[in-house]
Amino acid sequence: MDHSENTTSNPRIANGARTIGDIVEARLSRRGFLAGMAATTGLMATGCATSDTSIPLSEIPESPQAAAFNFEEITRGMDETHHVPSGYTTDQVIRWGDPLFDDSPEFDPMNQSEAAQLRQFGYNNDYLGFVALPTRDDGVQRGLLCVNHEYVSSLLMQPGIAATYPASMTKEACLTEMAAHGGSVVEVELTDDGWKPVVGSSYNRRITAHTTPMKMTGPAAGHDRVKTTEDPSGLLVAGTMNNCAGGTTPWGTWLMAEENINGNFLGTLEEGHPEAENHKRFGVAGGWYQWGRHFSRYDISKEPNEPNRFGWVVEVDPMDPTSTPKKRTALGRFKHEGAESVIAPNGHVVVYMGDDQRFDYLYKFVSKNKFDPDNREANKDLLEDGTLYVARFDEDGWVEWMPLVYGEGELTPENGFNSQADVLIGARLAGDLLGATPMDRPEDVEPHSEPGTVWVMLTNNSRRTEDELNPANPRANNKFGHIIQITEPDRDFTATQSRWEILVRCGDPSVAEVGATWNPLTSDDGWFGSPDNCAVDPSGRLWVATDGNEATGASDGIWAMETEGERRGTSKAFFRAPIGAEVCGPRFTEDGESLFVSVQHPGDGDGATFESPTTRWPDFNEGTPPRPTVIAIRKIGGGPIGV
């Protein structure tokens, strides 16, 4: 695909831009100044005075600029409930099992069923999209929450199964789990009591792993490798599952990103089976769930093509609850963590995606056709056709985006690729051949249109050895992750060459061997580990949610992150989750006055069960299990968050 209309022939030297090496060399001339600062701030312990790309862009003066965030920082810790700063409040918007429809049964955790769960809010809420609706005549603010339900915590979710698991997983128990997967669309409104669901709204919808018909589109649709006994056409899939992060398009559709689908399958393939290498590269069959004991579609020895029907990005129109979701195969098949989009200056739509596994890759998709701001219907199929790219991070501070196109380079029949469908079904294998950079679990990837910035969350990789280091992943045994900033030249998100640098390397800055690189203005409560999801608020500020911060001795949460000027790399603790919980899907309303947050798998932990969780948040009723919940954070008295 030709993007020459908005790019130079070589952006690496265009406009006199300095390379990362030039910047590092300039900073090293200030080493004496930095060393002086280190004596009082612990800078040297953080590793900021090194010569790699993780050095903050700016130097820290004695009188730093005003902070971008104005709130009273909360403390690090871990307990059974959640915490927000003084002056803020939280609304309990919707919990697992809450009713969505007028005929929804009340939540009865001791008597769960597929039928009940199909009419209730699903389990382990992850990505949150918010599509604003017109304000009501009485002035009430409203919108649609689009919520992914990533997975189920079997032992924590259902009563009486732990002692004899997995034998206790009956067919009905498995169906209940399938019904809890997928997603929910729920209308919410801001009442005098905070954000609440509109039960019975005509917009409300449940999408599940097994009951929701989905159309396959793009190059892999109808290919022999996605045909099964139930669907010999290879065009219609029943359901979506393991939907982690996602995205909301400029035309108001919801992108559900299928991630760890490999764990839902049981069985083995005979030696030499055509799908053996593909399934091995994807980790099929993980056997996390017992569905394959009761349903042949989840047993790869019976349906070897079924896994190829998952691992895609699914596009849903939340404004039309009768619409058929579409699996957009042009965006590639891998463990999608997020699918955030942006409109490039040339009108093409670009979707950024991480493959959430140790040593896997970062991708972006560029649409063939252009966005039409005046025609929503014309935009609905923009993701059906385009070019998928995989990233190679070079040591000179540039990213090379390499096209995954059949017939180009190594993607030929000699290497097992006989069509574009093969390339997309085996996107990981294609990335291997092209020499993409193996990353430390690339999760959420968030573009910011105005400055042309892309934020990449690298969660962790404790398996990386000294022999496996690369410039973009510079730490062995990386238990705490890091954040990369990509800058697209002239805001051209379609560019095939981009600049990159490390914003922060996470972990405890007081432990030298960790190699953390926070701005020294970060407090003892402000640093964190395992960045996962992120959000850019209406003011352009970055907020980071974590998954795995318990490795630092504190609960997961949300941190406000300075990204510009003298305070760049300074982090500040804003929200803390209850013990065992992961924080996902931070999403601001357009006015910046409400922040929706997913609190996933509260009460989880080693040995935790339905009967014995580590917390009973948010209800705290004896005998009631912890419930994954969407909350909304607001400032008491109103006003933008963090201001």
CB contact burial 345-361 (16+ within 10 A = b; e otherwise): eeebbbbbbbbbbbebb
Q: Is the predicted pLDDT of residue 45 greater than 80, yes or no? A: no
pLDDT over 90 percentage in the chain: 89
Question: What residues form DSSP beta bridges with 195?
Answer: 190
Average pLDDT, rounded, for the chain: 91
CB 592 within 8 A of CB 154: no
* C-alpha span between 417 and 413 (Å, rounded): 5
Domain ranges of the chain: 4-52+73-227+234-259+311-475+484-635, 262-310
What tens digit of pLDDT does each residue of 575-590 get?
999 999 999 999 999 9
Q: What is the mean pLDDT of residues 367-381?
A: 96
Which of 35-39, 249-253, 415-419, 456-460 shows the lowest mean pLDDT across its residues? 35-39
Calculate ∠ Cα 137-537-630, nearest 5°: 70
**pLDDT score, position 143:** 98
Question: What residues form DSSP beta bridges with 213?
Answer: 238
**pLDDT score, position 49:** 28
What tens digit of pLDDT does each residue of 337-369 get?
999 999 999 999 999 999 999 999 999 999 999
Residue 282 has which token pair? 């994807």
What tens digit of pLDDT does each residue of 416-452 get?
999 999 999 999 999 999 999 999 999 999 999 989 9
The rounded Cα 546 to chain-centroid distance in angstroms is 11
Q: Which of 291, 296, 5 is nearest to 169 (CA)?
A: 291
Q: Which residue has the tokens 């990837």?
A: 445
Which of 9-18, 128-137, 459-468 shows the lowest mean pLDDT across its residues? 9-18
Reported as a pLDDT band with limits 50, 70 and 90, residue 77 is very high
| Pairing between β-strand 213-217 and β-strand 326-328 as defined by DSSP bridges | parallel
- 468 in helix, strand or coil? helix
**pLDDT score, position 64:** 63
**pLDDT score, position 62:** 55
Residue 298 has which token pair? 């989840």
Residue 386 has which token pair? 């385009």
DSSP result, 513-547: GG-----TT--TTT--S-EEEEEE-TTS-EEEEES
**pLDDT score, position 286:** 85
Q: Is the predicted pLDDT of residue 293 greater than 90, yes or no? A: yes
pLDDT over 70 percentage in the chain: 90
**pLDDT score, position 65:** 82
Q: What is the mean pLDDT of residues 562-577?
A: 97
Q: What is the mean pLDDT of residues 152-176?
A: 97
DSSP result, 556-596: -EEEEE--SGGGTT-EEEEEEPPTT-EEEEEEE-TTSSEEE
Q: Is the predicted pLDDT of residue 513 greater than 60, yes or no? A: yes
**For residue 190, with 0-12 CB atoms within 10 Å meaning exposed, 13-18 middle and 19 or more buried, which class applies?**
buried
According to DSSP, residue 14 is labeled G
Reported as a pLDDT band with limits 50, 70 and 90, residue 464 is very high
Reported as a pLDDT band with limits 50, 70 and 90, residue 453 is very high
Q: Is the predicted pLDDT of residue 11 greater than 80, yes or no? A: no
Question: What residues form DSSP beta bridges with 446?
Answer: 455
Which of 98-107, 249-258, 284-293 shows the lowest mean pLDDT across its residues? 284-293
Identify residue 618 by its one-letter amino acid code.
P
Which of 10-24, 267-281, 297-311, 566-580 shows the lowest mean pLDDT across its residues? 10-24
Reported as a pLDDT band with limits 50, 70 and 90, residue 469 is very high
Identify residue 435 by its one-letter amino acid code.
G
- 227 in helix, strand or coil? coil
Q: Is the predicted pLDDT of residue 546 greater than 80, yes or no? A: yes
**pLDDT score, position 13:** 37
